[in-house]
Amino acid sequence: MAQRTRALPGTGTGGAPETVRRTVLPGGLRVVSESMPGVRSVAFGIWVGVGSR
């Protein structure tokens, strides 16, 4: 199962390491994750990019 992963540009200050990653799964699903060392919980959200303007 191939997937592409890349780090997103950081938005913080103080030279914090890149913790946000965008992964594209083989079916085209985009997954954005953020590592938060020291936090022992998980938050999950879904955004659907559909509709008209």
User: Mean of the pLDDT values across residues 8-36?
Assistant: 75
For residue 35, give every residue at least 6 positions away whose Cβ sits within 8 Å of its Cβ, in sequence order, or none.
Answer: 19, 21
What pLDDT does residue 13 have? Answer: 46
Q: What is the pLDDT of residues 28-52, one digit of tens each?
A: 888 888 888 888 998 888 888 888 7
What pLDDT does residue 26 have? Answer: 92
